[in-house]
Structure 1
Amino acid sequence: MLFGAILILSWFILLIRYPSKALPVTLLAVIGLFIVASTVIWQENREKGHLAELELRFNYDPQNCPADRPLAVTLNNASPNPLLELQWQLAAYRPGDSVNLVENTYESPRYTGPGDLQPGSSWNNCLPLPPLRSGYRASSLEFRAERLQGSFAN
Structure 2
Amino acid sequence: MLIGAILVLTWLVLLLRYPAKALPLSLAAVFGVALIALWVLWEEQDEKSRFARLDIQLRYDPQACPADRPLAMNIRNGGDAVLRDFAWQVQAFRPGDTINLAQPSYDRPRYLGPAELHPGAQWQDCLALPPIRQGYRAQSLEFRAANMRGTFVD
Q: TM-score range by the shorter chain?
A: over 0.9
Are residue 74 (structure 1) and residue 74 (structure 2) matched? yes
TM-score between both structures, scaled by the size of structure 2: 0.94
Question: What's the CA shift string for 1:41-86, capped at 9, x where partnerless?
Answer: 0000000000000010012122222221111100000001111122
Shift >4 Å, 4+ stretches: none
**Unpaired runs of 5+ in structure 1?**
none
Write the mapping of 1:83-102 to structure 2, written as runs, cut at 5 A: 83-102=83-102
The total of aligned residue pairs comes to 154
What root-mean-square deviation, in Å, do the aligned CA atoms of Structure 1 and Structure 2 show? 1.2
Q: CA deviation at 1:20?
A: 1.4
Q: Distance in 2 between matches of 1:129 and 1:78?
A: 26
Q: Tell me which residue corresponds to 1:120.
A: 120
Counterpart of 1:103 in 2: which secondary structure? coil
* 1:13-52 correspondence runs (5 A): 13-52=13-52
Q: d(CA) in 2 for partners of 1:44 and 1:153? A: 14
Q: Identify unmatched segments of 5+ residues in structure 2.
A: none
TM-score, normalised relative to structure 1? 0.94
CA contact (8 A) 1:47 1:150 kept: no
Distance in 2 of aligned mates of 1:19 and 1:59: 65
Could you report, residue by residue, the CA deviation over 1:9-37 in whole angstroms, capped at 9, with x for unpaired residues?
11111111111111121111111101111
% identical aligned pairs:
52
